[in-house]
Structures are given as structure tokens and as C-alpha cells.
Amino acid sequence: MRDKIKVAFQGEKGAYSHLACLEIFPNIEAKPCYTFEEAFKLARDDSEYKIVIPIENSLAGRVADIHYLIPKYKLQIHAEHFQKVTHNLLGIKGSKISDIKTVRSHSQAIGQCSKIISQNNFKTIISADTAGSARFVSEKKDKSESAIASELAAKIYHLEILKSNIEDESGNITRFFIMGKETKHPDFEKKKYITSCIFKLKSIPAALYKALGGFATNGVNLCKLESFSVKNTFDQVNFYIDIEGHIEDMSLKKALEELGFHTEKLDVLGVYEAHEFRAKNK
């Protein structure tokens, strides 16, 4: 039997990040971390650990702080994963929806399930995370208490799924990065790849326009470009960029050379195979 892969995630057991870990790696030793920074620090200090970190959500947008932690801890992106998020109303065994008076969960989960909350006039309680809410309901053993969390959380904390798929909108997807200390790039073959970078421009007029020109002239497609402020200043920003292609592709090499000419700093965060989700949703 193969040794279990050591994987850390932010949150408690049963969190959506834990669910993503189990979908990515069938044989893992999962380690919950209280904060994102704790997970990053663990992977930096122990090369045996990979971390599975949410980077963005199709409804809620960018996950706060991740863009600051990536350059701080200098971990490499080894792969990406797109996880479908389905919310469930959980209660203790023997409870029914008619028994429920309060529902607790993370603020985003509460906001994404407003219809069922409004229809049943539930009192909402904002909690730090979804899985922690499920654990609280399990420990309190009160039929009037409920949580919004994953099916995995229901299984771990021995709760009843009172109603599944309770989100207001279907198609709630979270993109995760699988990261680690080791720098490794897949061999350049006839596959779809993503190269991710963070850069800071030189402070000169039209720097961004000139920096991105190399992608246009070399026929390289950008699938994401976003800015985020450099901490403790309003004067400069960093840019995060996802590029279609492999770093060994000559067109991408030329585009990155052009980008580098106009930047103060350019860090390649990783080169990895594009997840199959991208092809399905073009």
C-alpha cells in the first residue's frame, strides 16, 4: 500500500476545502489548519506537505489574503482544481425542517442560501466556517439548531441532511490551487497548460500597456489579470496573471521577456496542466 500523501487545508474537517482534498487525492493524511497562513507556513517548513487552497469562487470572487500569502511564502502551484459547491441544511438526527429556528454558517454560505432562510424565517448566526457550524450543531444536540455545510460535514459529525442543494443559484464553483515547496513543471507536450505569475511594474507612463503588448504580438492568450495593492502603500500595485500556455513554448517565452522588460519584479508561480473544467465551460 502506498504511503498517504500529506495534505493541509484551512478549516475544520468537513470543510469544502477538505472535500476538495479528497477529490484530488484519493489516499491522503489530511491536516486541518486554523488559518490560511498556518497552512502556507506548514508547507514552507515541511516539504512533505502539499496544501489545497481556494483562490476564487464563481459567486463570491477572489478569496481574501491568498494573493499576499503566495509571494510571501514563495510556494509553487503544482495544479489547479475546480470544485462544485453544493450547500445542505443539516440538523441533528431525528430533527425536521419544521423544528428549525436558527441556522448558522459562514457568511458567504448564509448569503448564498437566502431563499430557504427567508421562506422558513430562520434566525441566522454568522460563524467562522461551515464545518465548524456543523460541529457546533452536533455537539449542542438541539433540534431547533441547524447548519449550512457540506455532505461530508454531515457524515463526519453524524448529522441529518434536512434538505440538499439549498443554494439560491446553481453553478457555484470554487477554484483551488494545489501548492508545495518544490518547484516542478510538467514536460511540455501537446496539452493545455496554465502559467501563473505575479509582477510589479516599473513606475512609468503606459507601463501596463507596454508590458501586455508582448502577449498580443506573440498570440498568447491571457485568461486572468487582476491587481491587488502592495501592503502599506497606495502608490503601487502588484498584478496576478494566468496565461494559457507552457513556459517552454517559444511564443510564451517571448511574451514573458517583453513583460519582464517593463517590470521591477516578475515571479513565475507555477506551470501546470489546465483542469478539464476549463474545456467544458468554454
> Are β-strands 49-57 and 173-180 bridged in parallel, bridged antiparallel, or unpaired?
antiparallel
| 222-229 β-sheet, strand order | 222-229, 237-244, 193-201, 263-273
183 catalytic per annotation: no
Cα torsion 120, 125, 128, 130 to 10°: value is: -20
Q: What is the DSSP string of 54-112?
A: EEEETTTEEPTTHHHHHHHHTPEEEEEEEEE---EEEE-TT--GGG--EEEEEHHHHHH
Q: Using CA atoms, how far apart are residues 149 and 152, in angstroms rounded to an integer?
A: 8
Contact 67, 53 (CB under 8 A): no
174 catalytic per annotation: yes
Q: Using CA atoms, how far apart are residues 168 and 90, in angstroms rounded to an integer?
A: 17
Q: How many helices (H) and strands (E) does the chain have?
A: 10, 15
**Catalytic position from the list 174, 177, 195, 215:** 174
**Catalytic position from the list 36, 40, 176, 239:** 176
Phi, psi of 263 (to 5 degrees): -115, 155
* Enzyme catalytic residues: 174, 176
